[in-house]
Chains A and B, each alone.
Chain A
């Protein structure tokens, strides 16, 4: 019980710090935006920022869970690329194939995640190396399937990416928001949720306490694979076709919102709400830089500086062996 209550304390401490930093940065960006352009604070622009956050939000959610256990999932980019190719390649314009293919692709994400988790728990190799390896294998398989954009999707498939609910809220972004809130609730209020924190906090202690460490690790990589495949379906909905490198940038960019949101790479501290705000921060930053008419080249510099600024504010717990 002591492990659980201490990890709970850390959870609140950690996530509060994270939330304050991100909220502070969000307000700062907003103020700058308002002073730069009249069009910035319009509901139209803000809804735009919201819509554009969808893909990053979905993939970062799974990444957050992997990082909370002290791991990392560097295969998400390849899972996205493979899933996007399979989605449009297998549907190939046939409306009756849409539902079976979506179910199949999500299942593939789950299976890949289970393979990641299985290798990690069985061999004891660091998740960084394991997922780097499976990521390379999956990218190779993707390129064996097709070297260019493959297949097509029927009319209406773009509803997930471009559909709007009443008041103009994006369908995809709202779906992501609901999933995040649900995940935050489950992390706080279920036994498995607390186990994720305990395993990340100290896997040794968690095992000694009798927690199902291996099962928890399997679970987070399965969820990470599932959300990567879901991101792929969103991207196919948005671009209309799957592409063999469409996920490549997501591997590293899915980590930015997680760490900016206050989740520690060492595991055990942070939470998904910080990540959600981190996603909105990245989305708002890119939007603001467009308004500032900054060359796209400097957008990268700004992203790097935001990461440095944010992580310098948090202090990773020192692990003394």
Chain B
């Protein structure tokens, strides 16, 4: 895709340096904005920060956050994954296609993660070995998965989700949603992988400058493929959790998550041109999306304004990140 072009403007070595020694605004702007949004909404509607509403927002945050973590890996290597929502819905359909007993839970979990990983592998192979643009490769996989899902369920999925997943997706531990705990564990594990491991450094180099990556002996293709596999697997996990939250399965569990997850990552400072960004920033982006959607309702604006506000924030946030990269 054309993302490589945007990167031409920013000298690449500098880009990977800024990932480590970032200037104040770019690394903390998102958190400041998040706090400002919370304060303003709270001032207009104090119910916004009531225990029940906060718990509700955190429960909505968890599935999106898990997808965003995976999306971050893919965007870091100059890609993007449009198939995540389709993977989520497929995971939800898989979850109900067993008997609905808790004894099947482990099997369901493995089947879902396997499906997500396989989708990611296909995406990664198309992108690296056939040089298909990530947009198209993942778009095509999205459509194929959707078709297979429709064919398998005859358009009307049915069945029950094991109560274990219902618990995980919708129960709280004295106000703290279980699904948020899952997201935190995932964030810590993949945060260590990305920010503290040799593999993580390879991800940044591969995305920051593929030529350098090749010259220093990094198997850039393998790194890229692994990023797509991580993204697919995490999307499947998020689909399982979301289906436990929704309770009813339809063919479109997770609809909109592909765009929301990309938007959240971009708002959180993950550059579409690759090699720059962090999981903490991406999660802050996801939190802003959830807070803004909630705030629109809490301050009494019509629901339609949710997507208008979302659209405005996308453009404003993205333009704030482009400017410093140009200077």
Contact = CB atoms under 8 A, between A and B. Distances in A.
A299 B148 CA distance: 10
Contacts of A139: 307
Q: Interface residues of B: mostly helix, strand, loop or mixed?
A: helix
A316 B5 contact: no
B97 interface: no
B315 A133 contact: yes
A316 to B, nearest CB: 5
Contacts, number: 160
Contacts of B151: 295, 297-298, 301
A119 B317 CA distance: 13
Interface in B95-148: 126, 130-133, 135-137, 139-144, 146-148
B173 interface: no
A136 B310 contact: yes
Given A136-B307, A301-B148, A315-B131, A71 B315 contact: no
Nearest to B12: A321
- Size category of the binding interface on chain A: 35 or more
Given A144-B304, A301-B144, A126 B3 contact: yes
Nearest to B11: A321
A138 B315 CA distance: 13
Contacts of A305: 140, 144
Contacts of B154: 295, 297
Contacts of A299: 147
Contacts of B132: 308, 311-312, 316
Contacts of B306: 140
Contact of A126 (B6, B136, B147, B211): B6
A123 interface: yes
Interface string B291-325: 00000000000101111101110110011001100
7 contacts: A70-B5, A132-B262, A136-B314, A307-B140, A307-B143, A311-B140, A321-B211
Interface of B: 1-9, 12, 126, 130-133, 135-137, 139-144, 146-148, 150-151, 154-155, 209-211, 259, 262-263, 266, 272, 302, 304-308, 310-312, 314-315, 318-319, 322-323, 326
